[in-house]
Structure 1
Amino acid sequence: MKKITVTGRTVEEAIEQALTQLNVTIDRVEVTVIEEAKKGFLGLGGKPAVVEVKELYDPIEEAKAYLHTVITKMGISVTIQQKQEEDGIVFELMSDKVAILIGKRGQTLNALEYLTNLVLNRKSKSYKRIFLDAENYRERRKQTLIALAERQADRAIRLNRNISLEPMPAKERKIIHTALQDREGITTNSKGEGSYRHIVISPVSSQ
């Protein structure tokens, strides 16, 4: 959090100068008037107003700044747009190297999302969540997983045996479970620990 002391002919002028220097709006700062402006006798000996302006802590802005710094250090130019969606706040990454930011099956995007949320919550009393996306990758990945779930469920029934999927992050496993929760003739379970945790699709008759 930045804190500066600024002088001006009036308190209002001093505050405006401080906001310009900090590049923030008035709702993002705390203002303390150290000294009111004083007029001198016959225009002589007057004193300017003095204010102390402190930028308020904003975990979302800090998380965004951190993410931008990390990506820049990867040698990638990026623009981050923030939007509010039903599940929470989404940082949309826009870059001419977006494929690198996504990584194989979203691994890089997932890692960046994990780190961003660590920064977001390190000073927070209640857990908050930020989601990262790039070129609508999350929705495209969701549809890919749903199609995979349906194919492997068909296979499990046809072969009458358990089908183990590759290890996936928790949120991707949830998509698989949800896609098949009403499917007759099969059940889904998560097995394994840590990065090896995966879904097993089982035909009811083989249990």
Structure 2
Amino acid sequence: MKQITATGNTVEEAVQSALEQMQTSKDQVNIDVIDEGKKGFLGFGSKPAIVKVSIQKDPVQDAESFISEVAEQMGAPVSIQSVVKDRDIAMQLEGEKIAILIGKRGQTLNALQYLAQLVVNRESDQYFTVMLDAEGYRERRKETLENLAQRLADKAIRTGKDVRLEPMPSYERKIIHTALQNHKKVNTDSDGNDPRRHVVIRPS
């Protein structure tokens, strides 16, 4: 976090000095008054005011900057639209080479989402959850997983054996569990440890 300690005849002067040095405005910083100073008498016994000024971190802006930089380096520049609801941050990516950022079965997108979440929470007092999407990929992936769940449930019933799916992130495993939660002939649970944790579909 960028911060600076500044002095002045008054607290206001000290703050102004810090803002000028940091080239920012008062609404963008946190101000800590270390010493309010002392005017003294006839110039004797005076003490300067001391303040510590630090730039407020915007976690969403940090994550957007991070993703933009990574996308640029991958040769797939993007525009980003972010929506914050409580502690959930939904980020929508758009660009001409978006497929590069999605990757095989969304693996690149999932990795970017994980890193963006680390960036958002590294200096935040609250914990935010980040959901990264690219031109509607998540909804298409959800439909694919729901169809897969039904097909593999039929296979488990037909063979009478457990069916193990490929490792998936937690929110994708949840899609499988939700799709089959009211199924009368199979049960689901998760097995293994991240990043190899996967869903198992078991015939009832």
* Range class of TM-score, shorter chain: 0.7 to 0.9
Amino acid at match of 1:152: L
Q: Counterpart of 2:175?
A: 175
The answer to whether the aligner puts 1:76 opposite 2:76 as a matched pair is yes
Letter in 2 for 1:102: I
Instruction: Evaluate the alpha carbon distance shift between residue 30 and residue 124 of structure 1 in structure 2; reply closer, same or farther with a 3 A threshold.
Output: closer
Structure 1 segment 128-207 matched on structure 2, within 5 A = 128-204=128-204
Distance 1:144 1:195, change over 3 A: same
How far apart, in 2, do the equivalents of 1:74 and 1:162 lie? 40
- Give the whole-Å Cα distance in 2 for the aligned partners of 1:126 and 1:103: 30
| 1:75 Cα offset (Å) | 2.0
Paired AA for residue 133 in structure 2: D
Paired residues for 1:108-147 under 5 Å:
108-147=108-147
Mapped contact 2:89–2:128 kept (Cα < 8 A): no
**Deviation for aligned residue 1:84:** 3.5
Give a deviation string over 1:17-42, Cα, whole Å, max 9, x none.
x8xx76x8x744569xxxxxxxxxxx
Flag structure 2 segments of 5+ consecutive residues without an equivalent. Answer: 5-15, 32-52
Aligned length: 172
- Structure 2 CA distance for partners of 1:192 and 1:2, relative to 1, 3 Å: closer
Q: 1:61 is aligned with what amino acid?
A: Q
Aligned partners of 1:169, 1:126: CA distance in 2, in Å? 22
TM-score (norm 1): 0.72
CA distance in structure 2 between the aligned counterparts of 1:57 and 1:170, rounded to whole angstroms? 28
* 1:56 CA drift (Å): 2.4
Cα offset, 1:179, TM superposition: 0.9
Cα separation, 1, equivalents of 2:193 and 2:30: 47
Separation in 1, partners of 2:171, 2:109: 13
User: For each residue in 1:23-66, what CA deviation from the matched residue of structure 2 results, as whole angstroms up to 9, or x when unmatched?
Assistant: x8x744569xxxxxxxxxxxxxxxxxxxxx97422122112111
Could you say which residue in structure 1 is the equivalent of 2:99?
A: 99
Question: What residue ranges of structure 1 are gaps of 5+ in the alignment?
Answer: 5-13, 32-52
1:144–1:94 CA distance, 2 compared to 1 (3 A): same
How far, CA to CA, are the matches of 1:173 and 1:60 in structure 2? 26
